[in-house]
Amino acid sequence: MESKSSTTGNRDNPNRNLHGSKTMMASHFLRALFRIQQTSTSSSSAGRSRRIRRAAYASMAYSAGTRRAWSRALLRKLRSRARLRFPRRLSRAATPQRRDMDQAQVLRKLVPGGPSMDDCKLLEETADYIRFLTTQVRLMQTVMDSVSS
């Protein structure tokens, strides 16, 4: 897994927090995958897929820990066993006063914990959420590539 090289120099290296998290993410996700394979011999592919998806978001959230609002919100959802749903097609908002506000509201629905964030926090949390999401996606791709070779 390559990390995106930082272009911000030594000031607030975005990958500083990510490196240790990647290892946690990988070990958490792999353990979940093996567990899922052991315990779902008779279940449907769709059921397994849902468990894998849940494991993906769980390993993201656990590796980010409680230091981020998005991961705390995700952990809460996971622990309450609520269905993990992210809006795909967002309903047309009422005519916005400004287009900027509309997009920020859309973003709030996509980032866990978004609704309670002010604009500034939303941007910070979004950046962190994207970093973890892309890392998780790459992790899943790596697993796919490893087993299909």
Partner 1 sequence: MSSRRSRISEEEIAELLSKLQSLLPEARRRGTSRASSAKLLKETCNYIKSLHREVDDLSDRLSEMMATMDMDSAQAEIIRSLFRP
Residues that bind partner 1 (CB under 8 A): 1, 4, 7-8, 14, 26, 30, 33-34, 36-37, 40, 45-46, 48-50, 52-53, 56-57, 86, 88, 98-104, 106-107, 110-111, 117-121, 123-124, 126-127, 129-131, 133-134, 136-137, 139-149
Nearer to partner 1, 76 or 124 (CB): 124
Contact criterion met (CB below 8 Å) for 94 and 137: no
In whole angstroms, the minimum distance from the beta carbon of 128 to partner 1 comes to: 10
Token pair of 40 as six digits: 């779902």
What is the maximal distance between C-alpha atoms in the chain?
A: 53
Min dist CB 49 to partner 1, Å, is 4
CB 86, min distance to partner 1, A: 5
CA distance 111 to 99: 19
What sign results for the dihedral spanned by CA atoms 81, 84, 90, 94? positive
Q: How far is the CB of 64 from partner 1 (least distance, A)?
A: 15
Residue whose CB is less far from partner 1, 57 or 62: 57
Residue 78 or 133: which CB sits closer to partner 1? 133
Contacts of 24 (CB under 8 A, 6+ apart): 59, 62, 63
Which pair of tokens denotes residue 142?
């790596």
